[in-house]
């Protein structure tokens, strides 16, 4: 038996997972979260990368889908090697298909 | 001398100011929005983590993405936008308000019929908490650390202690850890965390960062730069237990000890402040007790979701674009476990039906009931589960039956079940 706190929304439900039994979630998203959390935990990662623009020394970015929890620090290391030299807009891909996972890292800010 | 005239003046371009401006313009008003920083968006610019917009857009956006949606609407509208412009004073004039400002071109003023304060909140600093010792650099608020890393791309610490478990502190604990700093721990003087449970889970537990409840920093060491802090345990009355002192080496002490509404502008108009929220007293349209003067977003009370900050701007902007009718206030009396309740006054002369009310509890309550009454008559009642001071509650109350003879009370009570 495992107790989890659902982090999908601010309700922060306490979910109990006991074999196939999932209880305590107020909605189905919580059920999905509990299944993924007990089999293959994933997270959305947000960070920054450096740019060559004085107006924007740090460009904020995020993964467009969740990535495996145990890949987080490897992803951060990859991001440290990135230097953005072109103007980008929100949603533009900064790093494509990281670790062959199908997940892209996208800009969350426009470089003006 | 730069001079402007407008129907509505919005001060501050965070989510509250942006949505106030956008909603007033969509109703046909002329709007000037003034922002002291170089770009629009307020504090959201530095909140690069996700979780914004679940209520408003049904999506988990980052702060800059959330702000950009309102910015895109604003910059394609008729609004006059004054950036790098600091409003220094506000006075009441015969027909409205006069705001003085300074910017690179010099000084100027804006005459406005109506004014909306959307000046946000500020962080409590080390001056507001009692820590002994030297005055080294390296003691900073979580927001300052956030600004360094997320906007300037600079790391302010290699090894730090975080004092206070507010949300920004929790989020910065994760951010600093990901960026390679050692966060020795988050120390909280109270017996429960101040931030949202989900942030304790996804920011601390995910990365094995310890949270020490009933602990505080009592002393700082270091001449130029911080070298260490002294931590003590506290008892149930939050009194330091002396023989529990422990010295922890670190180069930064990051404070996340609370936010307070920014009311410097409000004070210039001597607007009455609610001692429970530390923000201005407002009616259901976020109009203060002074006609045609509004206060929205975190300048009014500290929200935990930006979606509701935007909503307050929207309500005020829409209302400000109509002419202000004489108001008649009833002032709900608060009972039981309520820490605060907004609106503090209800304008019963308006034709409103459902109004949005916000409240927080004084303590954690498993099962509670909130009741709004007019004398003995129940106007609204709802049962609630897991009410916590850290999580703002929001209800819709039908006020169409209230009038100037109403005596309104609001009560939050624990339900005991057996
Ligand atoms: C450091 C920090 C981090 C935060 N992180 C989060 C978070 O992660 N999630 C969350 O939901 N909430 C967070 N908050 C709370 C946050 O304030 C609100 O969610 C939201 O951004 C408030 O919007 P607002 O429009 O009321 O204020 P703000 O976004 O603070 O905007 C106020 C604006 O008014 C401008 N201003 C103030 N005075 C003047 C003046 N005299 N003249 C001209 N311009 C002026 C300021 O420059 C600022 O741009 C944080 C707050 C702080 C202080
Ligand atoms: S279970 Fe549903 S309601 Fe509960 S925290 Fe998760 S997403 Fe939110």
pLDDT of B127 reads 66
Q: Is the pLDDT of residue B267 over 60?
A: yes
Who's near B235: CB < 8 A, 6+ residues apart? B214, B241
pLDDT of B21 reads 98
Q: Is the pLDDT of residue A49 over 80?
A: yes
pLDDT of B134 reads 76
| Residue range B344-356, pLDDT digits in tens | 999 999 988 999 9
Q: Is the pLDDT of residue A50 over 90?
A: yes
Supply the mean pLDDT for chain B. 95
Mutate to test the pocket of ligand 1, among B39, B43, B317 (most ligand atoms within 8 A of CB): B43
Burial category of B327 from C-beta neighbours within 10 Å (exposed 0-12, middle 13-18, buried 19 and up):
middle
Distance A10 CA to ligand 2 centre (A): 7
Banded pLDDT at B131 (limits 50, 70, 90): confident
Mean pLDDT throughout B69-96? 96
The answer to whether residues B176 and B145 touch, using CB atoms and an 8 Å cutoff, is: yes
Banded pLDDT at B390 (limits 50, 70, 90): confident
Q: Is B364's Cβ below 8 Å from some Cβ in A?
A: no
Distance B395 CA to ligand 1 centre (A): 24
Query: What does the alpha-carbon distance between residue B9 and residue B142 come to, in Å, rounded to a whole number?
Result: 31
Stretch among A3-12, A89-98, A101-110 having the lowest mean pLDDT? A3-12
Q: Is the pLDDT of residue B133 over 80?
A: no
Q: Is B37's Cβ below 8 Å from some Cβ in A?
A: no
Report the atom number in ligand 2 closest to the C-alpha of A11: 5
**All domains in chain A, ordered by first residue:** 2-39 (no CATH), 46-107 (3.10.530.10)
Nearest CB neighbour to B152, from listed A5, A57, A109: A57
Query: What does the alpha-carbon distance between residue A76 and residue A53 come to, in Å, rounded to a whole number?
Result: 21
The answer to whether residues B218 and B132 touch, using CB atoms and an 8 Å cutoff, is: yes
Asked if this assembly's ipTM is beyond 0.85, the reply is yes
Distance A109 CA to ligand 2 centre (A): 28
Q: Is the pLDDT of residue A27 over 70?
A: yes
For chains A and B, CB pairs below 8 A equal: 70
Q: Is the pLDDT of residue A95 over 80?
A: yes
Q: Is the pLDDT of residue B391 over 90?
A: no
pLDDT of B130 reads 65
pLDDT of B418 reads 57
Banded pLDDT at B128 (limits 50, 70, 90): low
Mean pLDDT throughout B136-160? 95
């Amino acid at each position: 038996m495992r107790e989890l706190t659902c982090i999908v929304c601010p309700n922060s439900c306490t979910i109990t997972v006991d074999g196939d039994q999932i209880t305590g979630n107020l909605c189905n998203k919580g059920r999905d979260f509990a299944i993924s959390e007990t089999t293959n935990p994933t997270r959305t990662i947000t960070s920054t990368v450096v740019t060559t623009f004085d107006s924007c020394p740090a460009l904020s970015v995020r993964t467009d889908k969740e990535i495996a929890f145990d890949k987080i620090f490897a992803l951060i290391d990859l991001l440290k090697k990135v230097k953005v030299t072109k103007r980008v807009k929100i949603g533009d891909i900064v790093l494509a298909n990281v670790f062959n996972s199908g997940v892209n890292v996208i800009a969350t800010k426009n470089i003006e | 001398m730069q001079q402007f005239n407008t129907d509505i003046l919005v001060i501050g371009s965070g989510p509250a100011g942006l949505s106030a401006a956008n909603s007033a313009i969509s109703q046909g008003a002329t709007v000037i929005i003034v922002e002291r920083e170089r770009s629009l968006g307020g504090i959201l610019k530095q909140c690069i983590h996700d979780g914004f917009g679940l209520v408003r857009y049904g999506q988990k956006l980052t702060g800059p993405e959330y702000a950009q949606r309102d910015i895109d609407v604003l910059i394609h509208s008729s609004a006059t936008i004054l950036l790098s412009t600091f409003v220094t004073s506000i006075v009441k004039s015969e027909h409205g308000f006069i705001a003085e400002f300074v910017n690179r071109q010099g000084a100027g003023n804006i005459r406005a019929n109506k004014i909306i304060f959307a000046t946000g909140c500020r962080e409590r600093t080390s001056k507001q908490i009692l820590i002994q010792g030297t005055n080294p650099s390296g003691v900073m608020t979580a927001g300052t650390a956030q600004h360094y890393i997320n906007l300037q791309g600079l790391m302010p610490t290699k090894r730090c202690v975080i004092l206070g478990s507010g949300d920004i502190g929790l989020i910065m604990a994760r951010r600093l850890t990901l960026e390679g700093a050692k966060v020795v721990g988050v120390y909280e003087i109270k017996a429960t965390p101040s931030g949202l449970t989900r942030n304790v889970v996804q920011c601390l537990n995910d990365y094995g960062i310890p949270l020490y409840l009933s602990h505080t920093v009592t002393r700082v060491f270091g001449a130029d730069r911080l070298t260490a802090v002294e931590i003590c345990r506290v008892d149930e009355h939050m009194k330091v237990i002396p023989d529990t002192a422990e010295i922890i080496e670190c180069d930064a002490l990051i404070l996340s000890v609370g936010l307070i509404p920014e009311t410097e502008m409000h004070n210039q108009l001597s607007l009455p402040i609610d001692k429970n929220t530390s923000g201005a007293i407002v009616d259901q349209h976020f109009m203060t007790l002074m006609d045609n003067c509004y206060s929205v977003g975190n300048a009014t009370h500290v929200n935990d979701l930006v979606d509701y900050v935007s909503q307050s701007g929207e309500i005020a902007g829409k209302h400000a674009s109509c002419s202000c009718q004489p108001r008649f206030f009833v002032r709900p009396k608060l009972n039981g476990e309520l820490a605060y309740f907004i609106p503090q006054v209800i304008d019963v002369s308006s034709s409103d039906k459902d109004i949005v009310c916000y409240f927080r509890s004084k303590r954690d309550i498993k099962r509670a009931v909130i009741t709004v009454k007019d004398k003995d008559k129940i106007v609204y009642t709802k049962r609630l589960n897991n009410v916590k001071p850290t999580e703002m509650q929001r209800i819709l109350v039908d006020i169409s039956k209230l009038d100037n003879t109403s005596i309104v009370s609001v009560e939050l009570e624990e339900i005991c079940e057996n």
